[in-house]
Amino acid sequence: MQQRLKMMGSLTYLMMHSPLHRMYTMNELEERFLPSLLHDQFRYYEINGSPIGFVNWAWIDDVVEQKYMTGKYELTLDEWQGGSNLWFPEFVAPFGHARRMIQDLRKNVLPKGTPAKALKISPEGELIGVSQYRV
C-alpha cells in the first residue's frame, strides 16, 4: 500500500507538468492509472529520484476495443487483461523522455514488433484519432 501511495504522488507530479494530464479529475486518475498499478502493467521512470515518465498498457479484447476506440469508454479493472489487443491508455513524458521510455519498452517489457494502439488526444482533451505503433 505504501508503495502505491508513493507512486500516486509521483504520478500527480508528472501530471502537473503535462497540459493534457493536468486536467484529469480524481476519478479519471483512478480509472486510468490505478488498474495498471494493481495488474503490474506499467513502467515508471525516474532520474536521480525525480519522476520523468510513466506508461501503462492494457490487453483488451475485440469487443472492448471497439468501445474504447470511441474515446468515451473507460476500461474496467478486469478488461485491462481481457484480450490480445495491446493499448497504451496513458503515456506521460512531460520532460521529453518519450524516446527513452519507448526504447525501454522494446528492450525490457514487450516483444519487439508487437502491434499497439493509443488514443490520440488534443491538449483540450478531445479525441483526435487512434495512433498505431509497433513496439
Residues designated catalytic: 21
Residue 93's nearest CA partner among 58, 54, 133 is 54
Q: Read off φ and ψ for residue 94, nearest 5 degrees.
A: -70, -10
Distance separating alpha carbons of residues 34 and 123, to the nearest angstrom: 22
The residues facing 126 across adjacent strands are none
User: E strand or H helix at 18, and its extent?
Assistant: none
Residue 54's nearest CA partner among 18, 82, 2, 106 is 18
Distance separating alpha carbons of residues 79 and 81, to the nearest angstrom: 5
